[in-house]
Amino acid sequence: MKTSNYSLLILMITLVFSSCSSVKVLDSWKGDNAASIKEKNILVIARTDNKQARIAFEEAIASQLRDNDFKATESFKELPNIDPDKKLNEAQTKTLVETIKREGYNGVVLSVVKDYSEATRTSTDGGYYAGASYGGYYPGYYGGFYGYYSHPMTYVSTGSYMPMTSTTTTVKTYVIETVTYNLDEEDGKQLVAVVTSSLENPTNITENAAEYAKKIKKALQN
């Protein structure tokens, strides 16, 4: 199921109300020019038409990049009037790039929610005898294999039956792609790195964005 314009808004809501999270890098690539981005003035952009989602996502990523000695600024601060999710024609795209450069930025980190899916998972537990309860100790015959194997009490169940239970949960998975460009390179050679990650049942926008930033930083390192 492909996400639409409100994809990051959905992500933000899920980040607040979900109970567990897992970040996994699906794929990453860096060019021979990766080291060149270290000294660039980077503009961080989150592609969404929802202002609140854009601000939260850009702040978290830019902050983590700065903590790792990158020069990074949120686009909503420098270019608050642009709509990152708006489709631009060739002339409009050229104007945007010129504006970014004119503002003093020669690097861009752009994050896009590429995909969103939901899956139902059912887990079961129980359906077995758990063994007897012996408090804080086990009988002497537990001390050695021979004694345990030959003891009459190990041929019959003296434990308690654990009823089988099942739990069904909905797992929400986002696939996010982060691309990094060096605008000082000629067109066609500006791509520095690409990191594609999956985020399963996210919990906290700051913590998860921090994880993304770490993956980006790693991709940019030699």
- Helix/strand/coil (H/E/C) assignment for every residue in 5-33: CCHHHHHHHHHHHCCCCEEEEEEEEECCC
Q: What is the mean pLDDT of residues 98-116?
A: 90
Q: What is the mean pLDDT of residues 86-98?
A: 90
**Residue 95 binned pLDDT confidence (cut-offs 50, 70, 90):** very high
Domain boundaries, the chain: 7-121+170-220, 128-162
Find out whether 85 and 47 touch, Cβ atoms under 8 Å. Answer: yes
> What count of residues does the chain have?
222
Full-model pTM: 0.66
Residue 98's pLDDT is 93
* Residue 111: pLDDT over 90: no
Half-sphere exposure of 30 (CA within 13 A, CB side): 14
Of 58 and 164, which is predicted with more confidence? 58
Residues 6+ apart with CB under 8 A from 204: 15, 21
Which of 58-72, 87-101, 106-120, 202-216 is least confident? 202-216
Mean pLDDT of the chain: 75
* Residue 139: pLDDT over 70: no
Instruction: Let me know if domain 7-121+170-220 sits in CATH 1.10.10.
Output: no
User: Which amino acid, residue 168?
Assistant: T
Question: Which token pair is 199?
Answer: 């985020």
Of 33 and 1, which is predicted with more confidence? 33
* Residue 63: pLDDT over 80: yes
**% of the chain at pLDDT higher than 90:** 17
Per DSSP, the three-state class of 169 is strand
Of 31 and 15, which is predicted with more confidence? 31
Find out whether 121 and 168 touch, Cβ atoms under 8 Å. Answer: yes
* Residue 7: pLDDT over 70: no
Q: Specify the residue for token string 């460009």.
A: 181
**Residue 176 binned pLDDT confidence (cut-offs 50, 70, 90):** confident
